[in-house]
Amino acid sequence: MAAPIKPETIVPGISASQGIAYGQIFVFIQSDVEVPNYQVDADKRVGEIGRFEKALLATRQQITKIKNEVEKNLGAEEAMIFDAHLLVLEDQALIGETIREFEKTGRNIETCFNQISSRYIQAFAEIDDEYLRERAGDIRDVAQRVLQNLLGQAENSLSRLADKRIVVATDISPSDSASIDRGQALALVTDSGSRTSHAVIVARSMKVPAVVGVRDLTTRVKNGDWAIVDGYDGIVILNPSEATLFRYGKIQEQKKSFESRLLQANDQPAVTLDGVKVSLLANIERVDELAMVKDYKAQGIGLYRTEYLFLNSARIPSEQEQFIAYSTVVKALAPLPVIIRTLDLGGDKPMVGHPNLFPKEDNPFMGFRAIRFCLVHTDIFKDQLRAILLASAYGKVQLMYPMISGAEELAKANAVLAECKAELKARGQAFDEELEVGAMIEIPSAAVTVDLLAQQCAFFSIGTNDLIQYLLAIDRVNDRIAHLYEPTHPAVIRTLKQIVAEAHRHKVPVSVCGEMAGDPIFAPLLLGLGIDGLSMSPAWLPSVKYLVRAMTMVDAKALAAKALTMASPKEIYAMCDAFYRERVKLE
């Protein structure tokens, strides 16, 4: 095809699903439902609630149909996305508040539902955790469907995609992304969104490239424009030249070859060229991620984030409900280890529907959260601890506390744990008497008192995401200063080295479960600093394992030693990047 007349333009975004696509653009515009606002006559109010119930039922039927289609086309794991949508329709807090608002004001049910659901959406949208912030999309998607059914409007859908196209949208709801004909979508590109959005999850399942966070692209392109979507580097190239098309054809061949090498390495042990075994574990949030843990050959679970069990429920899960979830994971992976982290709820991750437990805070990252919340609400904490203890009877369980700030706080947590053990003994219920207890190192005060914490801990896990932002005083979700969030800052590297040295002096192993662990550029630096294990999202395991098998530990230690003498974060990063590229032979 002849080169396009329009000039070539490169638009940066965030890589979300790997791959390269070339084709014409389809701009998908999805507008919010316009909600009327009026007073309902007193004699029609019973019928108004009946209308609401019918709309909820119709929405449930639509979502169940979508779920069944996704399960048929993409598989059961991908279909579980819509379980969260069905849970929204069962949320008695959301439904109950809508009806109470209607009974109080007498305004039409659309207005009441829109007001209450918007409040929930806003609450999730303000959460600093990226995964949870994306869950606002679940509620928004369901709310739009309910409103469409109340107003008798046809649902928005991408099923009208008539030919192979690159789909460009402001955002793509889970329902819309699920309705895409996977034979027609070449790639997905959105103005907003993140790597954890449902559209991205579906894109990965469909094995199509996706780039998100491409600001205002929908206003810069029109239907029929030609583009390349580079899901590896997270860019969109509008009106690519013939030279660019040729170059990307070569890149695509190289990437496919490299991915094949990664998958081959995934079946091999994580051992360096000089014979050092490396522990590579997985981070999970839900039971349905077990399949990925097994597929990518993780050596266990290095971080089981239990708060998602609470955040996906309209009420606080009971001890028995938690036990079922934890024991399912433990049994499935036995005899491999499973590190279960206690609740990191509060502040930036509140349970919607429980405003009394989680009042709004000006600085949630440093607020009433995690272990601080648990030590106040010991009834909730003890239910969880007993559930973890009971699960420990079925495999190798380790328990870990988040956001520990010092030895006194750790001692209080362990005292509550001791009470739970005594209660289970009194019940005559079995648990692992030798259960190992560890702490997250993610607060600077913990980092400098590792020697004191080591007297009460069997292991440490460094949460680099929080530790870095606390060390550097950088809010990593603030666009104006996010560029200052540098994992290779000398303060970060020196702190990591000090943590490892002090922990090892007390014979306590140290792993990393933050984002640094899953980045193959940083993994050699961490291992060279003496980190004993790396825990990451399951999908990152092949990349890190490949690099481990392509390097020596001697070289990794030399890399770390050199980094500890350097002053520039950018120069340290460049050195780590060069180390990576020399061994994976990307170029």
- Tokens 């036990």 belong to 323
Contacts 24+ apart (CB under 8 A), 147-150: 147/33, 147/35, 147/110, 147/113, 147/114, 148/33, 149/54, 149/55, 149/58, 149/59, 149/62, 150/51, 150/52, 150/55, 150/109, 150/110, 150/113
The full length of the chain comes to 587
Q: How far is CA 480 from the centre of its chain?
A: 22
Is-catalytic flag, 198? yes
Strand partners, 229: 21, 236
| N- to C-terminal Cα separation, the chain | 28
Distance CA 468, CA 486 (A): 8
Which whole-number Å values give the CA distances from 564 to 26, 530, 581, in the listed order?
A: 49, 13, 21
Instruction: Check if 513 is active-site.
Output: yes
Place of tokens 């991915």: 259
DSSP class of residue 21? E
**Cβ atoms within 10 Å of 329's Cβ, excluding its own:** 23
CA distance 69 to 57: 19
With 0-12 / 13-18 / 19 or more C-beta atoms within 10 angstroms meaning exposed / middle / buried, residue 140 is buried
CA 510 to chain centre: 23
Report whether 168 contacts 11 (CB < 8 A).
no
Tokens at residue 481, please?
């200063």
Q: Measured between alpha carbons, how far is 267 from 257 in angstroms, rounded to an integer?
A: 16
CA distance 206 to 167: 14
Query: Which residues are CB-contacts of 47 (< 8 A; sequence separation ≥ 6)?
Result: none
Q: Which residues contact 231 (CB under 8 A, 6 or more apart)?
A: 15, 16, 17, 18, 19, 20, 21, 187, 209, 210, 211
Q: Which residues contact 323 (CB under 8 A, 6 or more apart)?
A: 386, 387, 390, 391
Catalytic position from the list 374, 420, 457, 513: 513
Reference 431, options 419, 444, 421; nearest CA is 421
DSSP character string of 304-318:
EETHHHHHTSSSPPP
| Token code pair at residue 586 | 């990307």
From the list 198, 420, 489, 576, the catalytic residue is 198
Per-residue CA distances from 78 to 22, 178, 322 (Å): 26, 9, 23
The answer to whether the beta carbons of residues 128 and 348 sit under 8 Å apart is: yes
Enter the DSSP assignment of 8.
Answer: P
User: Angle 118-124-128 (CA atoms, 0-180°, nearest 5)?
Assistant: 145
What count of other Cβ atoms lies within 10 Å of the Cβ of residue 431?
A: 19
Cis peptide before 524 (omega within 30 of 0): no
Residues taking part in catalysis = 198, 513
